[in-house]
Structure 1
Amino acid sequence: MTITIPENEVPENGRTVQDGAATVEFRGLTRRFGATVALDAHDLTVRPGELIALLGPSGCGKTTALRMLAGFEAPDSGAVLVDGQDVTGVPAHRRDAGMVFQSYSLFPHLNALDNVAFGLRMRKVATAERRSRAAELLELVGLADKGERFPHQLSGGQQQRVALARALALRPRVLLLDEPLSALDAKVRTTLREEIRRLQQELGITTLFVTHDQEEALSTADRVAVLRAGRVEQCSTPTELYARPATAFVAEFVGTTSRIPGVMSAPDTVEVLGRRVPATGAGIAAGTDVDVLLRPEGVDVTPDPGAGARVVATAFLGATTRVTVRLSNGVEVKADVPTRRTAELPVGTPVAVGLPDQEVLVVERPRTAT
């Protein structure tokens, strides 16, 4: 897996980038645990000052990649470079990276201020300076009045804010976040991820954020790298990743997707539900049986007494309601419709299914064993 951050490049959204934002490369990086390949060689480019989310299921290699950059894990092959210098053999405390863990890892015998100042103390920073710096960081994360409290006197969200302040205290060139929000309840998690994003943009620090939560990745990152079995399937902006997934794995891992059987009528056209629509795939030949992958917001359903499809379930989502439709061939399709329309779509209603106007992603249908 190769991660490259070009020097002196401002991210496309024009936000401020911290002076000296680090250039990081993972070159041909591979790590095996017995017969399991945790991380395989791959190329990925990351701009300075942006937040990259590494997203994927458990065991896909995202945390292994992060730990190798931090210096906590050694690769079997390949090299880790920071600003062009090979740091593969450099110990973690010399990597100039701040890391925030899922488990907070605060010292229980130290108050919040001393926890934040701990790294500065290890670097023999003068007492007055380190306490002043720690107080500044606590104010930055909204805990200016909690400096004298010990970890057990803080909520989970407050403890994670202290851990974030501690990671930032040494002014690291790279910030590494290893599923920092997964132990928190939903409301606190949402608030804190917004706070992390605000701080990251304000400081302009290059950040790698590991998560298995797609909503967290899509709402926080500049770009998201979806990993599978140690390889990056796709790295794109959240909008691109969701709207134009490169593979079936990405389409089904990120968001909700329905599979509808179709047949390729040409290399760039698929026949599905009695219509021919433009398709994107891996150059699948005409006549090939395929599955068409559709997002629920791209599917429309309307009452039609003569249709063979039927509504089999509805789920209220607020402004929209997710309607599950069973086609005449038994395949189920999900569609998001305005909630105001649900009165006309009760369970059992015969409906016609409309397809999106844009290109649809198709994948060759797996052959059934005989």
Structure 2
Amino acid sequence: MTVLDNTATTPEPATEAATVEFRRLRREFGPTVALDGLDLTVRPGELLALLGPSGCGKTTALRMLAGFEHPDSGEVLVDGDDVTRVPAHRRDAGMVFQSYSLFPHLDALDNVAFGLRMRKVRTAQRRSRAAELLDLVGLADKGARFPHQLSGGQQQRVALARALALRPRVLLLDEPLSALDAKVRLTLREEIRRLQQELGITTLFVTHDQEEALSMADRVAVMRAGRLEQCAAPAELYGRPATAFVAGFVGTTSRIPGRLDGASVEVLGRRLPVDGRIPAGAEVDVLVRPESVRVRAEDDGHARVVATSFLGAAVRITVRLADGAEVKADLPAHEAAELTAGAAVDVSLPDRPVLVTERTS
């Protein structure tokens, strides 16, 4: 794979980074509510990822910003200007699709220059601009190649260069890496992030891949059933999920039965403070990340190791508690050596606030 040349000239954005606002967006497709009053702001120059399961509304929101969909109610604003009913070709947004969408009869240079040609930019100027952008995305020597002569990763680079050719105020990425293999996807997401930061362009990125969202975005907006569950920086989203859905969707989470006692919860033989909302019922589940769970071998322990999984520097241990609940713990490899399947263990949690939710059946 070609690695982007950091010495390449970075083109200057045509305008200041834009602010994007979704205000009370609602969109229905028959009986299905795709967006249910979405309120969200994308800050100037940031990369914000829309993350969520299929059907949560993230792509609908992106298409509304692009101008391909219109809400039943609500507004889309760019730098305070209402663009809700502005046609897509007047939105000043560049979009990169999952499927590349390159013209098969045009070489890479002409694919990148296509939008400039539609705007009647002179031949010499548009070819110069296209060559500059191909250089920026690491394809300076591939301008004469046609899409079928390029790898998937190279085709997506061409699509990215084409989206940037018109110096858009907003860059929209619709799951652009999902069709690529794992190694190419990892490399290209790092390159897209570097390029976005260098250009300082406001970017909205749709993905269902949590690792992709957490590694690339300044903030991640988690959506569910057309609503925004939480929007926060990756570290906050992972470390302090606002809802049980976010805790379960972002990263790995175990549920441990507990019992509420005022603003604290009794769990695994100790009392811990509750972080965030306190459910109405006394019987709850405590939500914990695997790196927060402590497991040690204990001859008279009331839990048993049921499985181990090697993760490289860590080993993931799955433990079954006396009540049948299963808990996952990530331990350094050297600490997990004696924790084989069937071993009796003691399980505990650190003395810090925990997130709780209603008990599942």
Fold shared by both chains (TM-score > 0.5): yes
Aligned counterpart, 2:290: 296
- 1:197 equivalent among 189, 193, 197: 193
Task: Report Cα offsets for 1:162-220 as digits up to 9, x if no partner.
Answer: 00000000000000000000000000000000000000000000000000000000000
Aligned counterpart, 2:44: 48
- 2:353 equivalent among 352, 359, 363: 359
Distance 2:107 2:241 in 1: 46
> Gaps (5+ residues) in structure 2?
1-11
Distance 1:303 1:128 in 2: 72
Instruction: Give the conservation status (yes or no) of the 8 Å contact 2:170–2:203.
Output: yes
**2:341 pairs with 1:347:** yes
- 1:210 equivalent among 196, 206, 216: 206
- 2:169 equivalent among 153, 170, 173: 173
Equivalent AA in structure 2 for residue 302 of structure 1? R
Q: How many residue pairs get matched?
A: 350
Distance 2:14 2:307 in 1: 50
For normalisation by structure 2, the TM-score amounts to 0.95
Q: How does 1:157-172 map to 2 (within 5 A)?
A: 157-172=153-168
Task: Report Cα offsets for 1:271-300 as digits up to 9, x if no partner.
Answer: 001110111132335x71100000000001
For normalisation by structure 1, the TM-score amounts to 0.92
SS at match of 1:325: strand
**2:254 pairs with 1:258:** yes
Q: How does 1:28-177 map to 2 (within 5 A)?
A: 28-177=24-173
Task: Report Cα offsets for 1:243-279 as digits up to 9, x if no partner.
Answer: 0000000000000000000001122x11001110111
Distance 2:344 2:284 in 1: 26
Change (3 A) 1:18 1:53: farther
> Gaps (5+ residues) in structure 1?
1-15
Residue 82 of structure 1 and its aligned partner are, at CA, apart by: 1.6
Give the percent of matched residue pairs that are identical in Structure 1 and Structure 2. Answer: 78
Residue 27 of structure 1 and its aligned partner are, at CA, apart by: 1.8
Task: Report Cα offsets for 1:77-134 as digits up to 9, x if no partner.
Answer: 1121222222122111110000000000000000000000000000000000000000
Distance 1:26 1:243 in 2: 26
Instruction: Give the conservation status (yes or no) of the 8 Å contact 2:25–2:39.
Output: no
Aligned counterpart, 1:322: 316
Change (3 A) 1:303 1:73: same
SS at match of 1:281: coil
Distance 1:312 1:17 in 2: 55
CA RMSD between the two structures: 1.4
Aligned counterpart, 1:279: 274
Residue 18 of structure 1 and its aligned partner are, at CA, apart by: 8.0
SS at match of 2:37: coil
Equivalent AA in structure 1 for residue 266 of structure 2? E
Distance 1:88 1:115 in 2: 29
Distance 1:184 1:211 in 2: 13
Equivalent AA in structure 2 for residue 355 of structure 1? L
Residue 43 of structure 1 and its aligned partner are, at CA, apart by: 2.1
SS at match of 1:37: strand
Equivalent AA in structure 2 for residue 282 of structure 1? R
Equivalent AA in structure 1 for residue 276 of structure 2? G
Instruction: Give the conservation status (yes or no) of the 8 Å contact 2:309–2:315.
Output: yes
SS at match of 1:190: helix
Equivalent AA in structure 1 for residue 330 of structure 2? D
Distance 2:193 2:257 in 1: 40
Instruction: Give the conservation status (yes or no) of the 8 Å contact 1:18–1:204.
Output: no
Residue 340 of structure 1 and its aligned partner are, at CA, apart by: 1.4
Instruction: Give the conservation status (yes or no) of the 8 Å contact 1:17–1:49.
Output: no
Residue 343 of structure 1 and its aligned partner are, at CA, apart by: 1.8
Equivalent AA in structure 1 for residue 268 of structure 2? L
Equivalent AA in structure 2 for residue 335 of structure 1? A
Ranges of 4+ aligned residues in structure 1 off by more than 3 Å: 16-19
SS at match of 1:40: strand
**2:274 pairs with 1:308:** no
Aligned counterpart, 2:17: 21
Task: Report Cα offsets for 1:129-164 as digits up to 9, x if no partner.
Answer: 000000000000000000000000000000000000
Instruction: Give the conservation status (yes or no) of the 8 Å contact 2:247–2:287.
Output: yes
